[in-house]
Structure 1
Amino acid sequence: MADILEIQGISKRYGAVQALDQVSLNVPQGSIYGLLGPNGSGKTTTLGIVLDVINASAGTFRWFGQPLSKSTKRRIGALLETPNFYPYLTGEENLRLTAEVKGVAPARVGEALQTVGLGNRRGDKFKGYSLGMKQRLAIGAALLGDPEVLVLDEPTNGLDPEGIAEVRRLILHIASQGKTIVLASHLLDEVEKVCTHMAVLRNGKLKAQGPVSSILATNDLVFLNGGAPLETLLQTALALPFVAEARLTDQQIQVTLQNGVDSSELNRAFFAQGIALGQLVVRKKSLESQFLEIIKADHA
């Protein structure tokens, strides 16, 4: 699969603040790529640089295998800030004005409204829209030029649960049409439910990137105790080929198994070593705990 966006060693400094530090990542064509990180991690700065709104201090980026140009910009739709729509105009009238400014054919307005689920509310004034509808209209404005890529900065920020669900469904619908989507979010749940690929940023540094399924693994945690001294349990666990990680924590051994391995296999392996475990407790590893592990880990 070709890469739509390639970022190589991008850095950005604002005086004494290092907003981005040597960030490199690749966005595959057809993916929903999430930039995940706490507020201030560099997500919006990254999007601003690749959209030519902010100048990088160092590094390069390429869209569709080439530097950003007027022609490649036409292939990208972006929503970095909510557009200033006129409250006393209808949704359709607002999009018609936006289309005129962008030099887009008026026929695209109806199609964009249908795509974002506002076709039956096209004649309603913008001031009467819910926050979720306003955000969907903003996404419709970004879609007017029928871009190949849609870039969204915190698309569900400030929305209620219903509005969040609406925008999530819309993102998945747009992606199903073959478009690539790049979105920034500080919400782990949003990235896990919507994105196919992700990059984790913290303090301007890239902590991890790749398919969501590989970064946010669903391995269970197994806690062991009894049957032998803790150090013996730890060394036995570390020697097993299907153990991904083992460590001492809170006077017990915490074991992460490789994908597809059941905890009963772990119990049998210890018994084969002459150790009858006094305790074996399985807990689902939460996405939050995995995310915290990623952003706290050192990244070379």
Structure 2
Amino acid sequence: MSVTERDIFSGYMTTGHDWNGIKELNSPIPRVVLWFMLVTHVYAVIIWTLYPAWPLGNTHSMGLLGGDQKIAVAADVATATAARADWTTALATEDFDTIRANPDLMGRALATAGQLFGENCQACHGAGGMGGPGFPRLSDDIWLWGGTAEDITVTLRYGINSPHPDTHVAQMPAFGRDGLLSGPEIAVLTGYVQTLGAGVVPDDPSEGAVLFQENCAACHGADAKGVEGLGAPNLTDADWIYGGDSATIRLTLLNGRQGVMPAWQPRLTDAEIRMLALYVEGLHTKGAEDAQ
């Protein structure tokens, strides 16, 4: 059983614990620690009194100083918005030719739009608009809905197959799932689409060509070069959104495609949308320069 005793050197009582001859002293807490604890408690009380601290149901205590970070941030945003109101107003109201002719305005627009693109578009379209499976490449001259800033503004504002009433609408039918074509017909059409890189042969009597003209030409064109403004891509080039291999084309014919792009109007201002339109419009030029 442990026995307490007084240490002859320090004068403190021991706790009765002994580790191989080393005895634990029942010494008091150092005074500096007590002072530190006192100061921190007093500081906490002062902060609780001066600043927002305690939850009160749906609100909180405001503190004697009435500080509110939301109000402070809102004030900072308002100040920043006012400071750039001159050029953002111009971006929202001037026609694109006037903006393009103003190097200072274009510089501000593109610098800001680069960050906007990274925050809102890059997750799908990739860095520099390089695209990826299911998401069109923006750094080339191939466009489904038009590649001018004016066209891109409309696409950004209303989206594609989005809930917005003015959205672009495009849908590839599910020829297999909906029973529009049989399995053998889809197999034939898959093989035919893979030959379109050489172009459509006029008056081609083959089964694949006939199936294409009867089921696909209305959207993709009789020449299979697509129809800008309908969202139907060119099938004669090497640019594929979902993939041009046999398995992917067959899957597309079986189940259809319906790409969706959000309508950015509720999230971005008119000035921000038009900045992005100018930025995206210039991506193909930058992409061509990078490729050289």
- Regarding TM over 0.5, the answer is no
- Greater C-alpha Rg: 2
Give 1 or 2: higher helix fraction: 2
Give 1 or 2: higher strand fraction: 1
- TM-score normalized with structure 1 length: 0.19
